[in-house]
Structure 1
Amino acid sequence: MEPLLAEYPIVTEIPVAWGEMDALQHVNNAVYFRYFETARLDYFKKIELLVDLQTSHIGPVLGHTDCRYKIPVTYPDTLLIGSRVSSLSDDRFTMEYLIVSKKLGKVTTTGSATCVMFDFKNQTKASIPEHVKQAILATQES
């Protein structure tokens, strides 16, 4: 599975919970967005994106997110979610996700999210702080 995730600098491992299954006996489609959120927060932790949110009042909000389902996932399984930044601009960046099933040894799902930096105090878009841009670039190169 390592080759499948080689281009993703952050990999999050999540066990599938029984309660995530739907009536058709596979993981419910909405659950994948929680998986992406968990992976996104792991990436944010790595780049220390939320460290000074309380003082700067600048942080990310989702502008867009999508998901492509390739193979159904069923309980029991453990998923590996790779995350990376695929594009970076002044006020936003796009993340890509790749979910691999340990049980199947295959890619089950792909997704993306556009994160827009937002000034919560002034209720406006904001530029990505330079130290965050540098952390993203360093993470992508590792």
Structure 2
Amino acid sequence: MAESDLLQDYPVRTEISVAWGEMDALQHVNNAVYFRYFETARIDYCQAIHLMETLASMNVGPVVSETQCRYKMPVTFPDTLTVGSKVIEMRDDRFTMEYAIFSAKHQAITTVGRATIVMFDFKSGQKAAIPKVVREYITKVEARDPL
């Protein structure tokens, strides 16, 4: 199946080239590297929803509280990956993202993952509500509406 078909439900997509140095002694991408791939995709998603600009003046920001990964098949150098990201749940103070990694070499989804992102007030040291404008941006991105 084509990338566009397999990642059609993911509104934000990030292209990543596999680096030789990301492989381990078993000659595939090391398991910890996938969390960096997810981080890169998460930052792209945050840029798409203008999260950092919106929250900078409020002294509030996103903190990863939980993350997980499921490896479906090994990835090796050389390869180009596309990481799809989307928000699958929003609560008062957090949202959950889901990721899928598509391999150009294998023409398949090789890895899936999730992360829970909590809004945190750095001044008070407490969780904070997701601002209304951020909720609106997420809703627009997920609906593929231009911001």
DSSP 3-state at the match of 2:119: strand
Single out whichever of 16-25 and 44-53 deviates more from structure 2.
44-53
**1:32 counterpart residue number:** 34
Q: Within 2, Cα distance between the matches of 1:89 and 1:107?
A: 28
Report % sequence identity.
58
Matched residue SS, 1:45: helix
Residue of structure 2 in register with 1:110 after alignment? 112
- Alignment deviations for residues 83-121 of structure 1 (CA, whole Å, 9 cap, x no partner): 000001110000000000001100000000000000001
- Confirm or deny: 8 A CA contact 2:54 2:134 kept in the other structure: no
2:58 maps to 56
Q: Please, which of 74, 77, 86 is the counterpart of residue 76 of structure 2?
A: 74
Q: Which residue of 2 aligns with 1:89?
A: 91
- Calculate the TM-score normalised by the size of structure 1: 0.98
How far off its partner does 1:19 sit?
A: 0.3
Q: CA deviation at 1:69?
A: 0.2
What runs of 5+ residues in structure 2 fail to find an aligned partner?
Answer: none
Structure 2 counterpart of 1:12: 14
Give the partner amino acid of 2:39: E
Aligned length: 142
Q: Which residue of 1 aligns with 2:137?
A: 135
Structure-2-length-normalised TM-score: 0.95
- By how many angstroms is 1:52 displaced? 3.8
- CA shift for structure 1 position 53: 3.6
Alignment match, 1:101 = 103
Q: How far apart, CA to CA, are the structure 2 residues paired with 1:116 and 1:102?
A: 32
In the other structure, the counterpart of 2:24 is: 22
Give the gaps of 5 or more residues in structure 1. none
- Where has structure 1 moved over 3 Å in runs of 4 or more? none
Question: Matches of 1:20 and 1:37 in 2, distance apart?
Answer: 15
